[in-house]
Amino acid sequence: MICYHNVMVDVTHAFSAQHHFDNEKFNEGKKLITDGMDKTINDMKNGKFDDAREALGEILHTLQDFYSHSNWIELKNTKPYSELIDPNKKLTNLAEKSEETCVELCRKGSCGAEFRKDLKVLTSGYFELLPVNKPKGKCSHGGISDSTTGLGKSWDGINKDYKESNNGHGVLHNTASNLATDATVQLLENIWKKTDNSKFLRLVGLHEEEPAGAWRTSLHFILLTSRYPDANKPDEMGTME
Give the residue with greater pLDDT, 62 vs 136: 62
Condensed to tens digits (0 to 9), the pLDDT of residues 74-130 reads: 999 999 999 999 999 999 999 999 999 998 766 665 667 889 999 999 999 999 887
Long-range contacts of 125-128 (CB under 8 A, 24+ apart): 125/22, 125/69, 125/157, 125/158, 125/159, 126/22, 126/23, 126/24, 127/15, 127/17, 127/20, 127/22, 127/23, 128/15
Q: Would you state the pLDDT for residue 175?
A: 96
Q: Would you state the pLDDT for residue 133?
A: 76
Q: Would you state the pLDDT for residue 109?
A: 59
Kindly tell me if the per-residue pLDDT of 70 is higher than 50: yes
pTM confidence score: 0.83
Average pLDDT over residues 196-200: 90
- Mean pLDDT is highest, among 62-71, 102-111, 226-235, for 62-71
Q: Nearest CA to 66 among 21, 123, 96, 128?
A: 21
- Residue 223's pLDDT band (boundaries 50, 70, 90)? very low
Kindly tell me if the per-residue pLDDT of 201 is higher than 50: yes
Condensed to tens digits (0 to 9), the pLDDT of residues 140-192 reads: 998 878 888 776 666 678 999 988 765 678 899 999 999 999 999 999 999 99
Kindly tell me if the per-residue pLDDT of 196 is higher than 70: yes
Average pLDDT, the chain: 84
What is the amino acid identity at position 16?
S
Q: Given CA atoms 36, 145, 180, 57 in this order, what sign does their dihedral have?
A: positive
Proportion of the chain above pLDDT 90, given as a percent: 63
Q: Nearest CA to 200 among 234, 223, 168?
A: 223
Give the residue with greater pLDDT, 74 vs 217: 74
